[in-house]
Amino acid sequence: MPCSTHANDSAEPIRHVVCFKFKKEAKAEEIQKVEKAFSALKDKIDGILSLEWGKNNSPEGLNKEFTHCFIVTFENAKAREVYLAHPDHKAFVAILKPILDDVFVIDFTP
């Protein structure tokens, strides 16, 4: 499997992997609001080629209480920059933060 070391090459697509661990007291409705708000970003921010997400279903028990994983594919590094600074992304973070216990993010170029 090829491994890319040119993550800053602005012409290459970038995968943005985000995993969430929610606070124990987070209500199901609050988590659903986060799911919906994150999913909606694809239609609000240019440069997002795809967005998929799911809840952990691994039988290995190695998720360290992280329950949700979102994978966003950006057109290129510039699209990621636009996303990170975009007001709709910042509004999403404001919805997320009150119930977020921990987050893990890794970006890579396939």
What is the domain class of 14-108 according to CATH? alpha beta
Q: What are phi and psi of 103, to 5 degrees?
A: -140, 145
Task: Compute the distance between CA of residue 52 and CA of residue 90 in angstroms, rounded to an integer.
Answer: 19
Contact 47, 83 (CB under 8 A): yes
> In this prediction, what percent of the chain has a pLDDT beyond 70?
92
Over residues 93-108, mean pLDDT: 98
Coil, strand or helix: which one is 102? strand
Query: Which tens digit of pLDDT belongs to each residue from 19-65?
Result: 999 999 999 999 999 999 999 999 999 999 999 999 999 999 999 99
Distances 20 to 15, 27, 78 between C-alpha atoms, Å: 16, 14, 24
Give pLDDT, residue 7. Answer: 47
